[in-house]
Amino acid sequence: MPARTWVPPGPLDLHRTLGVLQRGPGDPAFAVRGGELWRASRTPQGPGTLRVAAAADGRVDAEAWGPGAEWLLERLPELLGEGDDPEALTARHRIVHEARRRHPGVRLARTGLVLESLIPTVLEQKVTSDEAYRAWRLLLQRHGEPAPGPWERMRVMPDPRGWALIPSWEWHRAGVDAKRSGAILRAVRAARRMEEAARMDLADATRRLTAIPGIGAWTAAETLQRALGAPDAITVGDLHLPKIIGYALTGRRGTTDEEMLDLLAPYEGQRHRAARLILLSGRVPPRRAPRFPVGDIARL
């Protein structure tokens, strides 16, 4: 069982840095055990499981299992934001300044794996988070494979061929409509080209992903925030984010995407980081309407 110890270049909030990779509390590919974080990934070398824990003296201790173990350990610093520069953002609003002061260890994780973030992001298109998390959980439990290592309940997502072989009724059973499953199937057929985006800059990577029908700007941004750790990959087309950003910065409701981009213009190059800090501030507009109703196409 290979292991590694790494010393971050500055403060590191392990849970908030890696927590964005978890797809709901029941994610079969992500688990929290005490102060340890566990991830099951399909790397270019094969399946691997990574355990990461922060030591009291600031070190990060990691262990890995499976054919992908060495790949995961080699890229541990990159995953935990070694190449990220939180100081590149100059706070233009008090709320951003205060959020950064309270959360100095939040860095942007970079997985270097595109499909791992792209597929669950496609599942989140136009549905509630609970519906998307359920679909991801069911698909991994039924079509993934047991993750290497000691945690028996963890699963590694299917390889591209495995995704392509999932029958239509299994997508339906997981509550995934034909539009989303079709986008995933087109992406896995171009898996090599999708994974190449992890070595591109943000603009080229976005063009590569959005060349696939069914993958738009929202999906590309949410994917590249994780795969590239891209500080400027601001999400547009989201139901909630513009309203939260607008309310936090101006106190007004009903902010549009265009207005959000205007508000974040002073953070050009760091707009995703600024939005992340604003979300961490907890300043959100009070809820007025009932939650979006949860559908279940598997019952149709």
pLDDT in tens, 28-68: 999 999 889 999 999 999 999 999 999 888 899 999 999 99
pTM of the predicted model, to two decimals? 0.94
- CA gap 23, 19 in Å, rounded: 9
Q: Maximum CA pair distance of the chain?
A: 55
223-268: pLDDT as tens digits:
999 999 999 999 999 999 999 999 999 999 999 999 999 999 999 9
Residues 129 and 223 in one domain: yes
Residue 299 confidence (pLDDT): 42
Whether 167 is in a domain gets the answer: yes
Buried b (16+ CB within 10 A) or exposed e, 113-135: bbbbbbbbbbbbbebeeebbbbb
Q: Are residues 145 and 77 in the same domain?
A: no
**What span, in angstroms and rounded, lies between the C-alpha atoms of 299 and 124?**
19
Are 137 and 64 contained in the same domain?
no
Residue 38 lies in domain: 3-83
Q: What is the mean pLDDT of the chain?
A: 95
Over range 153-159, report the average pLDDT.
97
Q: Give me the residue label for tokens 């205007």.
A: 262
Q: At 145, which CATH number? A: 1.10.340.30
Q: How confident is the model at residue 300 (pLDDT cuts 50, 70, 90)?
A: very low
Query: Residue 62: what pLDDT?
Result: 98
Q: Tell me what the mean pLDDT of segment 138-158 comes to.
A: 96
Domain containing residue 13: CATH number: 3.30.310.20
Look at residue 232 in the predicted model and tell me its pLDDT: 98
Mean pLDDT of 278-284: 93
In the chain, the number of structural domains is 2
Coil vs helix vs strand at 52: strand
Residues 156 and 78 in one domain: no
